Amino acid sequence: MPERFGRCDRVINCNYHLNPYKDGFGKNPDGIGTRPRWNPPPPEPPKPPSFIDIEIFKASRAGYDQNNFIIWLQSLFDGTTAAGIIARYHLGTSKHWPGATVFWQIDKAGNVRSGKIMGYDPTTGHRIKEPQPQITWVHKALKLEPFNLQQCYFGEHLLKLEPGKAVAMVESEKTAIVASAYLPNFIWLAVGSLINLNIQKCKPLAGRKVVLFPDLNGFEKWSQKATELQKAIPGTRFDVSDMLERNATETERQSGLDLVDFLIKFDLETFTQEPEPRTIATDQEPEPLKSEKGEKGEPLKTNYLLPDLIRLQFKNWNPYFWIIEPERLPGITKWNLETLSQDINYKHGLTVTPGEYLTAYQQTILN
């Protein structure tokens, strides 16, 4: 029905009311012999995204000794690791605020969509939010008008370099950068905010395995997004890690712990170092488990062996989220084994050690 028909909501001040039946439209909806039929104007064609000039991008990749975020990054990692991260993510320096960092958004085709400028404390690595938040865009700081910003994910340019690699997605650029050093088996992308976790921006991820790592208290919303994305992008697997939700203390929950807060508890070299080679016998049946609460030598009342309990455990917990790679990722493997064995002990009154759990895990999950 044409927009001219109807009653204005501002009844008192306007009193506009055009009844289609009194006007004759109801009897002659095609408008033959009456007023010309109203047609809405066609929608404007979508505008192409704007890009930052490559020379502006290149000029930002200097002044790292004055870049507060990079100073903090160099306090976490050795020079080689820090330099690799800076090069991989094309981190830049801005004069918009003293020590500010540019986090460039470069799409899969290599176009620089824009850059997010943010200020960080060089000692704590926290964002500067007082007396006002230090955050803006390169195109705004340079007053590039007109500019049609169409964001892509931070780190998206890495997809072309490693087409078969699994992808991990977090909210902040800082988390993606730090996690890429601790867990290099993923391509780490940052979405910037939950609203950016949408179908259009996720299209470059088609055909990949993707794991979402929400901050604390964000698991439900990210899970809903993952379900939507799974349906909309066939052939792509979206999982959501609940690692932080399951293991955070109440204090950590109140402070809004994210993945980077967890990772930097570990020294990178210790976290990633390879342990001594270890031979694990897989041709022996494990002995029945002993109950901590029963008499010494008493078998578990259910007569379940540890591999059986692990199978039950992973019926509810997706093993994809639990990294058990003692030779390549000993740090997070150690933490995961402690968590998993504690869960078994708590539920069944046992005293299974992380080492015993690892042996049974390799017999159960890997075989």
Together in a domain, 254 and 280: no
**Is the model's pLDDT at 292 over the cut of 50?**
no
- The one-letter code for the residue type at 208 is R
Nearest to 210 by CA among 159, 265, 144: 159
Q: Which CATH number covers residue 209? A: 3.40.1360
- State residue 80's pLDDT score: 92
Rounded to the nearest angstrom, the gap between the alpha carbon of residue 267 and the centroid of all alpha carbons in its chain is 22
Together in a domain, 160 and 257: yes
Together in a domain, 170 and 236: yes
- State residue 169's pLDDT score: 96
What average pLDDT does the segment 251-258 reach? 79
Alpha-carbon torsion angle 173, 324, 81, 265, nearest 10? 70
Together in a domain, 242 and 309: no
CA distances from 151 to 89, 95, 110, 183, 361 (A): 16, 22, 13, 25, 43
Q: Give the integer Cα–Cα distance in Å for 219 and 203.
A: 22
Question: Considering its fold, how many domains does the chain have in total?
Answer: 4
319 burial (CB, 10 Å; 0-12 / 13-18 / 19+) is middle
Q: Is 292 contained in some domain? A: yes
185: which residues sit within 8 A by CB, 6+ positions away? 165, 166, 328, 329
Q: Is 250 contained in some domain? A: yes
Residue ending a domain, among 111, 141, 171, is 141
Q: Is 95 contained in some domain? A: yes
Q: Is 48 contained in some domain? A: no
Residue ending a domain, among 241, 263, 285, is 263
Together in a domain, 101 and 15: no
pTM for this predicted structure:
0.68
Q: Is 149 contained in some domain? A: no
Together in a domain, 257 and 283: no
39-56 pLDDT per residue, tens: 888 888 889 999 999 999
285: which residues sit within 8 A by CB, 6+ positions away? 305
Together in a domain, 165 and 257: yes
Alpha-carbon torsion angle 150, 154, 156, 162, nearest 10? 180
Together in a domain, 86 and 5: no
Together in a domain, 126 and 169: no
32-42 pLDDT per residue, tens: 555 667 788 88
Residues of the domain holding 29: 1-40
Q: Is 268 contained in some domain? A: no
Together in a domain, 77 and 7: no
**Is the model's pLDDT at 239 over the cut of 70?**
yes
141-157 pLDDT per residue, tens: 999 999 999 999 999 99
Sign of CA pseudo-dihedral 42, 48, 49, 50: negative
- State residue 296's pLDDT score: 40
What average pLDDT does the segment 307-331 reach? 72
Residue ending a domain, among 263, 292, 324, is 263
First to last CA, the chain: 66
**Is the model's pLDDT at 82 over the cut of 70?**
yes
183-209 pLDDT per residue, tens: 888 999 999 998 999 999 999 999 999
Q: Is 128 contained in some domain? A: yes
Please state, for a pLDDT cut of 90, what percent of the chain lies above it: 47
Q: Is 317 contained in some domain? A: yes
What average pLDDT does the segment 19-26 reach? 60
- State residue 314's pLDDT score: 75
